[in-house]
Chains A and B, each alone.
Chain A
């Protein structure tokens, strides 16, 4: 590894970390104000312009609160749970491509922290780690509500991971690769001249299953049973306060952003531009008299913005759904997961396999 590559890698790491860390308060702000707007209220609007500094005030409050631990808790695991919760979804960002590549001084810098051949598996593996803090927290805090929350959470996440995995496999059949960058390149073309060749248009059923599954995976309403405020106090993080709770809260939103990155990459063309933007950018570069490197860098910058925009749209959808639908009962959740989504995903997978064999033959 040359020193150029090391510096580029560090800069990419800092960029991704900074963007995600700053996106979380904005999403939390939007969660609170957006929910208010959907209910005809105003929402927090006193701290800073439009109440944008409200998350900052919340964090300050969390830091100054008493840092307690229940006397009967298993201290080591109790303290470890929020740390894993905060770290695991961050690690998954390493595999996600957020732009094609930059040309700096004649060298190519791919806009992806870890250019892995099995990128999607790595992302899924780290996303799958999210079930551990939940179980650890529920068990270690020695509280029956936490225990119930953890039980529900673990069974829910394990159940929906199957449907999610099968939906993904059907997409992998189409793309024929596990490399997320190549998936985006595949989707960066058009069908019938104007429709982008995105996963959602190729396989809408898989998209629907995947969408429902990531709602369950990130414990969002209508599947927020591990927290289930009305029956379990706060579920698995009942016994957590101050910064430890803040870490869980934070991790939840990072996991949401991670899940929407995955969704975007697989079903919405990742960082790919909307058809029509490519010629426009080429024209702009021509007018400005850019060289090859400058044109590519401009294109990469627009791609990164496009990626952030798409993720923002999915986050909006997350909030929108949360404040629209009521919570499932637990048996309904299991019914949906095992008796509907699982067979549906299997049938879809077989159907896709046959279609691809047909076209390939």
Chain B
């Protein structure tokens, strides 16, 4: 059964005028705050950019060592864990004359493609990677003018990113 809760309204309440005054006061206060105390919450986007947290998961990159060689060893862990199935790796053996690392980097990705349009930015690949090779940077401006530009290849992923970007 519904419980009827009725509030006693005084004559002043029924006039509504005091309540209207309170409402007008709220808006004029906000008006003053925005206009004179810089209280606007808007970020003027292209000129002014939002600072996201250090843990923000944005555009992918693959970390490189001091010789600009990728840390990825094509173990396929990221491809396996990816829930969106957006990572495609083709592995190959690193030629002996290009390999100063010995057994440590014997295997390398011939292709490492990420379809950023399918990616859901969950960060599982980053967690799965035993070499800390694949990472998500803090760059969130990933808009492109064509579909092809959103398919990241190894060259794109190996671009220089400082820290987490």
Where the two chains meet, the residues of A that have a C-beta atom closer than 8 Å to any C-beta of B are 34, 36-42, 320-321, 323-325
Q: How far is the CB of B15 from chain A (nearest CB, A)?
A: 10
Where the two chains meet, the residues of B that have a C-beta atom closer than 8 Å to any C-beta of A are 20, 23-24, 26-28, 30-31, 33-35, 39-42, 44
Q: Are A321 and B24 in contact, CB atoms less than 8 angstroms apart?
A: yes
Q: How far is the CB of B154 from chain A (nearest CB, A)?
A: 41
Pairs across A and B, CB under 8 Å, 22 listed: A36-B34, A37-B30, A38-B27, A38-B30, A38-B31, A38-B34, A40-B30, A40-B34, A40-B40, A40-B41, A41-B34, A42-B40, A42-B42, A320-B27, A320-B28, A321-B24, A323-B27, A324-B23, A324-B26, A324-B27, A325-B20, A325-B23
Q: What chain B residues lie within 8 Å of A34 (beta carbons)?
A: 31
Q: Are A40 and B39 in contact, CB atoms less than 8 angstroms apart?
A: yes
Q: Are B34 and A37 in contact, CB atoms less than 8 angstroms apart?
A: yes
**Which of A39, A42, A321, A325 has a CB less than 8 Å from the CB of B30?**
A39
**Which of B24, B33, B35 has a CB less than 8 Å from the CB of A320?**
B24
Q: What chain B residues lie within 8 Å of A40 (beta carbons)?
A: 30, 33-34, 39-42
Q: How far is the CB of A247 from chain B (nearest CB, A)?
A: 30
Interchain CA distance A321-B20 in the complex, whole Å: 9
Q: What chain B residues lie within 8 Å of A320 (beta carbons)?
A: 24, 27-28, 31
* Interface Cβ pair total, 8 Å cutoff: 39
Interchain CA distance A39-B31 in the complex, whole Å: 7
Q: What chain A residues lie within 8 Å of B35 (beta carbons)?
A: 37
From DSSP, what is the main secondary structure of chain B's interface residues?
A: helix
Interchain CA distance A117-B94 in the complex, whole Å: 101
Q: Are B41 and A41 in contact, CB atoms less than 8 angstroms apart?
A: yes
Interchain CA distance A310-B132 in the complex, whole Å: 69
Q: Are B24 and A42 in contact, CB atoms less than 8 angstroms apart?
A: no
Q: How far is the CB of B41 from chain A (nearest CB, A)?
A: 5
Interchain CA distance A323-B31 in the complex, whole Å: 11
Interchain CA distance A308-B68 in the complex, whole Å: 71
Q: What chain B residues lie within 8 Å of A323 (beta carbons)?
A: 27
Q: Which A residue sits closest to B26, measured CB to CB?
A: A324
Q: How far is the CB of A144 from chain B (nearest CB, A)?
A: 33
Q: What chain B residues lie within 8 Å of A325 (beta carbons)?
A: 20, 23
Interchain CA distance A320-B78 in the complex, whole Å: 56
Q: Which A residue sits closest to B24, measured CB to CB?
A: A324
Q: How far is the CB of A339 from chain B (nearest CB, A)?
A: 13
**A34, A36, A38, A41, most chain B CB atoms within 10 A:** A38
Q: How far is the CB of A48 from chain B (nearest CB, A)?
A: 16
Interchain CA distance A169-B39 in the complex, whole Å: 45
Interchain CA distance A323-B20 in the complex, whole Å: 12
Q: What 5 pairs across the A-B complex have the smallest Cβ distances?
A: A37-B34, A42-B42, A324-B27, A38-B27, A38-B31
Q: What chain A residues lie within 8 Å of B28 (beta carbons)?
A: 38, 320
Q: Which A residue sits closest to B22, measured CB to CB?
A: A324
Name 19 extra pairs, CB < 8 A, besides A37-B30, A320-B31.
Answer: A34-B31, A37-B35, A38-B27, A38-B30, A39-B30, A40-B33, A40-B41, A40-B42, A41-B34, A41-B40, A41-B42, A42-B40, A320-B27, A320-B28, A321-B24, A324-B23, A324-B24, A324-B26, A325-B20
Q: How far is the CB of B34 from chain A (nearest CB, A)?
A: 4
Interchain CA distance A320-B26 in the complex, whole Å: 11
